[in-house]
Amino acid sequence: MHQPEQDHALLLESRTVLPTDHGVFTTCAYTFGDVTHVAMLMGEPAQAEAPIVRMHSECLTGDTLGSHRCDCGDQLEAALQAIAAEGTGILLYLRGHEGRGIGLAAKLRAYALQDQGMDTVDANRALGLPDDARDYTAAAEMLRDLGCSTVRLLSSNPAKAEALTSLGITVADRVVLPVVDRPENSHYLQTKRQRMRHDPLAGRVSVEEDTFPVYRTLASNSEVVAQLAQSADGFIAARGGDAEFVSGEADRTHLHHLRAAVDAVLVGATTVTRDDPQLTVRAVQGENPVRVLLDPRARIPVASRVLQSADARTLWLVGQDTEVPSGCGEHVEIVRLPASAAGSSAGADGAAGTSIEPAAVLRVVREHISGSILVEGGGKSVSAFLSAGLLDRLFLTVAPVLIGDGVPGVRFEGSKVMGEALRAPFRRYTFEEDVCTEFVLSQAARDHDAAQIAGQSAAQAVGHATVQNTGQEFDAR
């Protein structure tokens, strides 16, 4: 950051009221040097021991145009919500801070370099610009004029607190607003955490705490998502079919959260015959989803737990003319797949030499299930739904283990050149030693994420977490 300029006088230009979606704020225009800034006040912050304060840097693209390349617009909304919920506080809207102080045109040039693969820090440096050129002298002067020499700062950036402290303002606490990363800005924000000392999202979070917003998003919408855990070299099981504990306990807890969030979980016949899974919610609180067994030749043994245990309603999807053995539980409903479901060898998991078209399967399932559906396995089924363009999200966990040769994980017909490879916005979660990437594949999923952020309540906004300096974003350790 630039060294503060001390040779300007602060001038209060005007004072009025501003009604907003978050309440009525007293709004002051201050000019410092040649730049006019805005202070938005609610309540009597000068009477508070340490009012909450947000120093918000001007961002035309994020605050006004709704860009998702940064989180500025979301941070602005969350800060106003937090101040309104507390009833007392200040938002300082600092102009001249566009692009961390490099200006609008330079910021857009840096965006162009980021489009080519640079991160936000390297892009600035390639243009001969500083990582952060912002000056907070005006903010300190405004706070002094408003009678607030001690504050609680709403920020995940320790450099802001350090700057205010050096300017004579006491920062009694620094609070991270619970703003969720978007797929479009996840890499940008992770760069700031790794290279610019920004804090993890709301401190450390645990998968056991059900804090990941995507669980609520899936529960309140109708999506088709897939989950797969594989080794670092791309296998979901050893050569002999042993798939137990490819990933660790935290990733398995994440899987149970997904099961609890969806209405149905779909697996292929090979997964059931190999693993004899229960497909129920056990590691977390929640209702069991409907089990959907994709088995056109009725290969699943009748003694399998999914056909004997009445823990969950079960749909057994079999071929039109397939003979189904007797002896399964009353909770099992036989559903005949239409003849049109027969597909190529690239289709979803059936039997050796057979496959079915994922779109036809989904149409059949949708006659019984209206909410979100989790395609849980195996690798062939997940790959087929992905290749068919039917997935809204894919949760792909990579475990730090090398199998060498085994049952393949995600596999589909790829592109001949890297420029045509499948790329999508993503989030990344750290589950102990495993790393899970959530690919947000559809526009519907991105819209659902945006609605989730927009719908955050004022209670969430003010339910802040005091900053911790350890852990990683979405760290389940």
Coil, helix or strand at residue 17: strand
pLDDT at residue number 415: 80
Residue 3 has pLDDT above 70, yes or no: no
Averaged over 194-205, what is the pLDDT? Answer: 66
Residue 160 has pLDDT above 80, yes or no: yes
Coil, helix or strand at residue 320: coil
Tell whether pTM > 0.85: no
Mean of pLDDT over the chain: 86
pLDDT at residue number 31: 97
Residue 20 has pLDDT above 50, yes or no: yes
pLDDT at residue number 201: 54
Strands 290-294 and 264-268, bridge-based pairing: parallel
Evaluate whether 315 touches 290 at the Cβ level (below 8 Å).
yes
pLDDT at residue number 471: 31
Cβ contacts of residue 98 below 8 Å, gap of 6+?
57, 58, 59, 60, 104, 107
Least confident of 67-81, 189-203, 304-318: 189-203
d(CA 40, CA 288): 48
Q: Write out the two tokens for 379.
A: 């690798």
- What phi, psi does 451 have (nearest 5°)? -65, -35
d(CA 396, CA 383): 11
Kindly tell me the burial class for residue 211, based on how many C-beta atoms sit within 10 Å of its own C-beta (0-12, 13-18, 19 or more): middle
pLDDT at residue number 423: 82
Nearest CA to 45 out of 175, 135, 145, 166 is that of 145
d(CA 368, CA 210): 28
pLDDT at residue number 212: 78
**pLDDT band at residue 473, thresholds of 50, 70 and 90?**
very low
Nearest CA to 256 out of 236, 297, 229, 284 is that of 284
311 is catalytic: no
pLDDT at residue number 200: 65
**pLDDT band at residue 2, thresholds of 50, 70 and 90?**
very low
Q: Which residue among the candidates 63, 132, 135, 434 is catalytic per the annotation?
A: 132
Per-residue pLDDT reduced to its tens digit, 216-258: 899 999 999 999 999 999 898 888 777 677 888 888 889 999 9
pLDDT at residue number 419: 80
Least confident of 9-18, 255-264, 350-359, 396-405: 350-359
Averaged over 271-276, what is the pLDDT? Answer: 88
Residue 81 has a CB neighbour count (10 Å cut-off) of 21
Amino acid identity, residue 408?
A: P
Whole-number percent of the chain with pLDDT over 70 = 87
**pLDDT band at residue 317, thresholds of 50, 70 and 90?**
very high
Averaged over 348-358, what is the pLDDT? Answer: 61
Higher pLDDT, 143 or 202: 143
Nearest CA to 289 out of 317, 311, 318, 316 is that of 311
Per-residue pLDDT reduced to its tens digit, 404-437: 888 888 888 888 888 888 888 888 888 888 889 8
Coil, helix or strand at residue 174: strand
Instruction: Strand 434-440: give its sheet, edge to edge.
Output: 332-336, 314-318, 290-294, 264-268, 373-377, 224-231, 393-399, 434-440, 426-431
d(CA 347, CA 383): 9
For every residue of 365-417, DSSP letters joined together read HHTT--S-EEEEE-HHHHHHHHHTT--SEEEEEEES---SSEEE-S-----SS
Averaged over 286-304, what is the pLDDT? Answer: 94
How many helices (H) and strands (E) would you count in the chain?
Answer: 15, 21
Q: Which residue among the candidates 54, 100, 134, 152 is catalytic per the annotation?
A: 134
Evaluate whether 311 touches 330 at the Cβ level (below 8 Å).
no
d(CA 246, CA 237): 7
d(CA 170, CA 4): 17
Q: Write out the two tokens for 220.
A: 């309140």
Evaluate whether 32 touches 11 at the Cβ level (below 8 Å).
yes
**pLDDT band at residue 352, thresholds of 50, 70 and 90?**
very low
pLDDT at residue number 421: 82
C-alpha 406, offset from chain centre: 31
Q: Write out the two tokens for 184.
A: 């479009």
34 is catalytic: no
Residue 202 has pLDDT above 60, yes or no: no
Whole-number percent of the chain with pLDDT over 90 = 63
pLDDT at residue number 209: 44
Evaluate whether 159 touches 132 at the Cβ level (below 8 Å).
yes
d(CA 170, CA 172): 6
- What phi, psi does 476 have (nearest 5°)? -95, 15
